[in-house]
């Protein structure tokens, strides 16, 4: 095997997990952050918002909608990495617009589960094909994108 043509799977998975950790939980104390200021991961951002705030419409979207969409994308891409071949109706990712307090608590809990499931999916996956590598990186980019949107919307709700 020509070492120059392969990368260690552990390097990729650990780097991905590090970036995911920062995106969801914020950068770890005592360590440098890769791209976010301290304390602005998804969980801290969402936990600071009420159901009423996340349901408030802001130029055609809500934070609740962005949150559900980001979670839906994570779940489906984990399924694809795991071998799913059935198509996804992406419109289903935008079905939630507003939430009650109870629904908001439940949604935040499912986001945490989706995050943990994604980390497990990366750690356990044995088939790092081009498609799967691309989907894993796409999950990071997509989540970062919607975190950026959520934090911008949160300034005005």
Partner 1 sequence: MKTINQDDFTSSLFALLKETFEGTNTAFGTMYLDAGTGFFDTIDTVDAEKASRALSAESTTIAAHCEHVRFYLEFLSNYMNENFTMVDWKDSWKTKTVSDAEWTALRGQLHKTYQRVTDTFNDVETWNDFKISSALGILAHTAYHLSAIRQILKVI
Confirm or reject binding of residue 85 to partner 1 (CB under 8 A).
Answer: no
Confirm or reject binding of residue 127 to partner 1 (CB under 8 A).
Answer: yes
Q: What is the 3-state secondary structure (H, E, C) of 55-76?
A: HCCECCECHHHHHHHHHHHHHH
Query: Count of CB atoms within 10 A of residue 65's CB?
Result: 24
Of 79-87, 97-105, 108-116, 127-135, which segment contacts partner 1 by CB under 8 A? 127-135
Binding characters for partner 1, 18-57, by CB under 8 A (x = yes): xx---x----------xxx---------------------
Scan for tokens 């979207």, then name that residue. Answer: 61
Contacting residues for 117 by C-beta, under 8 A, at least 6 apart? 74, 75, 78
Query: Count of CB atoms within 10 A of residue 146's CB?
Result: 19
Which chain residues interact with partner 1 by CB under 8 A? 1, 3-12, 14-16, 18-19, 23, 34-36, 59-60, 73, 126-130, 133-135, 137-138, 140-142, 144-149, 151-153, 155-156
């Amino acid at each position: 095997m020509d070492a120059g043509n392969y990368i260690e799977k552990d390097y990729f998975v650990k780097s991905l997990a590090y970036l995911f950790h920062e995106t969801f939980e914020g950068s770890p104390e005592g360590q440098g952050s890769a791209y976010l200021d301290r304390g602005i991961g998804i969980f801290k951002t969402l936990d600071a918002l009420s159901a009423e705030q996340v349901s408030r419409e802001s130029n055609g979207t809500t934070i609740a909608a962005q949150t559900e969409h980001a979670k839906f994308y994570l779940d489906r891409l984990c399924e694809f990495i795991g071998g799913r071949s059935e198509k996804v109706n992406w419109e289903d990712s935008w079905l939630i617009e507003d939430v009650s307090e109870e629904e908001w608590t439940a949604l935040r809990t499912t986001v945490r589960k989706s995050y943990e499931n994604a980390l497990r999916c990366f750690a356990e996956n044995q088939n790092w094909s081009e498609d799967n590598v691309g989907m894993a990186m796409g999950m990071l980019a997509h989540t970062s994108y919607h975190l950026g949107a959520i934090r911008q919307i949160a300034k005005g709700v």
